Structure 1
Amino acid sequence: MENRQENNLVIKVHESDNVAIVIQAGGLPAGSQLGEGTTLAVPIPQGHKVALTAIAEGEPIVRYGEVIGTALAGIARGDHVNETNVRLPEAPALENMPLATRPAPSAEPLDGYTFEGFRNSDGSVGTKNVLGITTSVQCVAGTTDYVVRRIKNELLPNYPNVDDVVALNHTYGCGVAINAPAAIVPIRTLQNIALNPNFGGEVMVIGLGCEKLQPSTLVSDQPVKIYENSQAADPDANILSLQDESFMGFEEMVDGIMAMAKGHLEKLDRRRRETCPASELIVGMQCGGSDAFSGVTANPAVGFATDLIVRAGGSVMFSEVTEVRDAVHLLTPRAADEQVGQALLQQMQWYDRYLEQGQADRSANPSPGNKRGGLSNVVEKALGSIIKSGNSPIADVIGPGERIRKRGLTFAATPASDFICGTLQLAAGMNLQVFTTGRGTPYGLSMVPVIKVSTNTALSQRWHDIIDLDAGRIATGDASIADVGWELFHMILDIASGRKQAAADRLGLHNDLVLFNPAPVT
């Protein structure tokens, strides 16, 4: 796709587009003259679309060289094009799509790039050194929060090589149809979160005792060692249940968790950063609070960095099914083989059925804020969203809550919800996340570094202490997509190494985990 500026007032992405978006902060007033001769009939806000030609009722509206909808009524040249005058088209049919038809682009391997990470016994590499305390049921969340505060104040200062202790609280575990087929999604998500490389294999589980989801289920890949309330507590114990009858009162429960935490902190404190190749990176790419600049600035720069990571032998995930569904026809040709292409279509089909069961459809996306940022519908949003995936072949497709299996580019199927997507990418094994935003969000995860990239310079200036990288410079011509992509790549290496800190970590801005549970609740 071509990224072309006209008179430094608007951006027209592709030569076949009949709309362009306004660059100017504050928008453009009526009467503004564009370089190709269009005169604005009405004021148009920043990021919103102006018609470059007259568009008759029913005629296609084209952006990114793709039809994003049809005109609900006649639109004059110079008019404002937005959700009120654009009809949402039908989603692309999933039958007979081209699969694995595009040859992999020629790209030289990117050698010699490294970061300082924590190598684990299973070969994975962490970018943080964190004690994770997960729960088997939401009933104990208050207790884990209480204990985490105590551990941070009383124990963590004694273990200088441990970055943090975090409660992996969630709203699952009981009052649910634990044996329903779809229950595998939240269960494997919790199991795989415990395997995230930033936890170094030292995750503890706090249970209640009567829940449907038994604590041992969450550490089934490790030896299960139950904490016993005795003078000689096992330093390797990884499970404690509050209903254990040996506990006399809340303080004894807390003392038990503290004793168990001490054993795990001692082992984590022995971890040291070592030089690791960039091929050990597992980066999740996500967007939230998007605007019309997302697909022309931040997301293309992220896509450029995606290709750099893949060339270096690393792993990248892109996600958000509803923000892929309307552009999936552009992705299936990039599948590494037909099996991968079919897997991508199966995830689209599964989500179509899921939305139908809930009596919802894809028109529920975008959000009101996305529309204020110039995105008219989910088609336009999807076309800008998939650019985060760069140009590399899609090596694999994983379902919600599954772990990443292959190096290279993976589609990790998740809802578009920021919090659920982040939780599922965490379960997939990411050790760092990149998050683009045009409207702004304080989103962050305590378990992995989150780098926030703004799509426009105005946001970066307003939120100067929350945004890590300004991609809005691409729109103004002060930087190229490649410039910002390389800058992001180097920032990823620095933050993964602990040499720099992402703003969300510096400010302590961390969101709760939110499980995706498509199964019934009883």
Structure 2
Amino acid sequence: MQLIEHADSPRSIRLHERDNVVIVVNDQGVPAGTEFPDGLVTVEFIPQSHKVTLEDIPQGGQIIRYGQTIGYALQPIPRGSWVQEDQLRMPTAPPLDSLPLSTEVPEAQAPLEGFTFEGYRNADGTVGTRNILGITTTVQCVTGVLDHAVKRIKDELLPKYPHVDDVVALTHSYGCGVAITATDAYIPIRTVRNLARNPNLGGEALVISLGCEKLQAGQVMHDNDSSVDLSEPWLYRLQDASHGFTEMIEQIMELAETRLKKLDLRRRETVPAAQLILGMQCGGSDAFSGITANPALGYASDLLLRAGATVMFSEVTEVRDAIYLLTSRAENQEVARELVREMDWYDRYLAKGEADRSANTTPGNKKGGLSNIVEKSLGSIVKSGSSAINGVLGPGERFKGKGLIFCATPASDFVCGTLQLAAGMNLHVFTTGRGTPYGLAMAPVVKVSTRTELAQRWPDLIDIDAGRIATGRATIEELGWELFHFYLDVASGKKQTWAEQHKLHNDITLFNPAPIT
């Protein structure tokens, strides 16, 4: 990365020696006629985070960023020009039948030993970073009653159990009016089931059902499931109540208190950093995402993996155009083929809706300098660091094994977060360039800004300012280590993220590609 660091001069970043564009760093952009230290002169105003050409690009010529082609010029673009979305033809997606499979597997890096955090051990061997009572549902019909009950539990019961962090209702819109036996119905069903098994719930989740819905409680909890304690009553059906709403609330509160008593006996213990299960995600991305925040996450990911932890990255449409850079890093051909399988499934899913991966980019992404999904993907996959990819999870699956895992999810923030929780994530990190108050109730969310300007405007929402990389005040390595230590402090409960302090969280949002009846 080449960077002009002087705050009082035009500043730009070039990421790769092949790049024929640079990214403008200055907060307010640069006006026409601006001369950069290398002699480049702008021919028009260029906003912050947008691309300016380093050479004359002919019609049909390649626009190269990250050392990769992100588009072809639809018209001649003179040196010093602002490269905009409508000037580019997007490349076709890489064909899935000719990808490199496990051809450039990175060597394992030296182990990092001695790093720990304070967590809650669970009977199934997982570790929670928080001690939460989760109350899940089988159908949306019960949501109003459960919300009322949870409010009373928090007001009247939770203060009696100071070692329990929170009570969370795992409500969703699934369960009835759905094609429960359709081909892809397994995705929302296993997601609901695995959400109740998240390590931060300590194996004490309850189930509230209506009784007549299609998704029955037995599909959410199984008698032989070691990850959830079924030795105590764990299910309440509203249709069993003989004295109406009041009885429903009282009985839910009684069941909740039984579980709260058990959770309150738990204490944090020193555990190896290997017990951390980190989920990574982008939202409100901009052109700095792949320059500052995501590379820092990638460096921290490598550190966690060296310490034996599990790290998940996701968002199928945001890796699809860079998939050839991932299949080559798969630890073996089986893992590489699993990556291809998930890309193919999603290609076909989008095609059914007469859409493709280009539907991903938002107006905010484009305002932040991302011309198309190809450019966005190349910046997104940087979160995965430089380690070998060890496994692939389908949507709603629970994690297995250790290492760097691709958790196949849509790119939607809420759906991706939900599926990572179902996969077993106990800590979340979220990068943003445009800004979002995103949060999760079941796991702490570390918010990382790509730009210092955003961190300064939102000082009580952004936890880590990665924009310091773009202004030369920190290196990717320094930010990576800062994140690594911050993760362990948050996992230990020594620090709370801003989203936790404000109790900001998005709804559980299931991915249901099956028909609704």
Letter in 2 for 1:89: P
Q: 2:430 — aligned with what?
A: 435
Question: How do 1:145-184 residues align onto structure 2 when only pairs under 5 Å count?
Answer: 145-184=147-186
- In structure 2, the residue matched to 1:519 is 514
1:243 is matched with which residue: 239, 242, 248? Answer: 239
Matches within 5 A, 1:308-387: 308-387=303-382
C-alpha displacement at 1:101, in angstroms? 1.0
Q: Is the 8 A contact 1:127 1:496 kept in 2?
A: yes
Using the size of structure 1 for normalisation, the TM-score is 0.96
Q: Percent identity, please.
A: 61
Consecutive unaligned residues in structure 1, runs of 5 or more: 225-233
C-alpha RMSD of matched pairs (Å):
1.2
Q: Deviations over 1:228-266 (max 9, x none)?
A: xxxxxx99111001001x421100010010000010001
TM-score (norm 2): 0.97
Residues 1:260 and 1:482: Cα distance change in structure 2 (over 3 Å): same
- For residues 288-303 of structure 1, what are the structure 2 equivalents within 5 Å? 288-303=283-298
Separation of aligned partners in 2, 1:136 and 1:197 = 20
Q: Deviations over 1:59-88 (max 9, x none)?
A: 110000000010111101111002121111
Query: 3-state DSSP class of the match of 1:115?
Result: strand
Alignment of 1:35-184 (within 5 A): 35-184=37-186
Q: Within 2, Cα distance between the matches of 1:277 and 1:220?
A: 30
Q: How does 1:152-231 map to 2 (within 5 A)?
A: 152-220=154-222
Q: Trace 1:477-488 onto structure 2 (pairs within 5 A).
A: 477-488=472-483
In the TM superposition, what is the alpha-carbon distance from 1:221 to its structure 2 partner?
A: 5.1
1:504 is aligned to 499
Within-5 A mapping of 1:409-420: 409-420=404-415
Q: CA 1:188 to 1:46, structure 2 compared with 1: closer, same or farther past 3 Å?
A: same
Instruction: Report the residue type matching 2:385 in the other structure.
Output: G
2:418 corresponds to which residue? 423
User: C-alpha distance in 2, partners of 1:182/1:374?
Assistant: 36
- State the secondary structure of the residue aligned to 2:218: helix
Instruction: Check the 8 A contact 2:108/2:387 in 1, yes or no.
Output: no
**Dislocated runs of 4+, deviation >3 Å:** 221-224
**Distance change (3 Å), C-alpha of 1:235 and 1:183:** closer
Q: Deviations over 1:360-381 (max 9, x none)?
A: 1111121000000000000000
The letter for the 1-side match of 2:235 is I
Q: Distance in 1 between matches of 2:102 and 2:358?
A: 29
SS in 1 for 2:358: helix
How far 1:217 sits from its partner (Å)?
1.3
Measure how far apart 1:216 and its partner are.
2.2
Counterpart Cα distance in 1 of 2:211 and 2:456: 50
The letter of the residue matching 2:83 is V
Which residue of 2 is the match for residue 10 of structure 1?
12
Report Cα offsets for 1:299-331 as digits up to 9, x if no partner.
Answer: 000000000000000000000000000000111
What secondary structure is seen at the aligned counterpart in 2 of 1:340? helix
Structure 2: distance between partners of 1:235 and 1:151: 22
Over 3 Å counting, the alpha-carbon distance change for 1:518 and 1:221 in structure 2 is: farther
Letter in 1 for 2:438: Y
Match of 1:285 in 2: 280
1:446 aligns with 2:441: yes
Q: Equivalent residue of 1:206, what SS?
A: strand
- Residues 48 and 375 of structure 1 are in contact (CA less than 8 Å); yes or no, is this contact kept in structure 2? yes
Q: Across the two proteins, how many residue pairs are aligned to each other?
A: 510
What is the rounded CA distance, in whole Å, between the counterparts of 1:205 and 1:106 in structure 2? 42
Distance in 1 separating the partners of 2:360 and 2:454 = 22
Looking at structure 1, the residues matched to 60 and 37 of structure 2 have their Cα atoms a distance apart, in angstroms, of 27
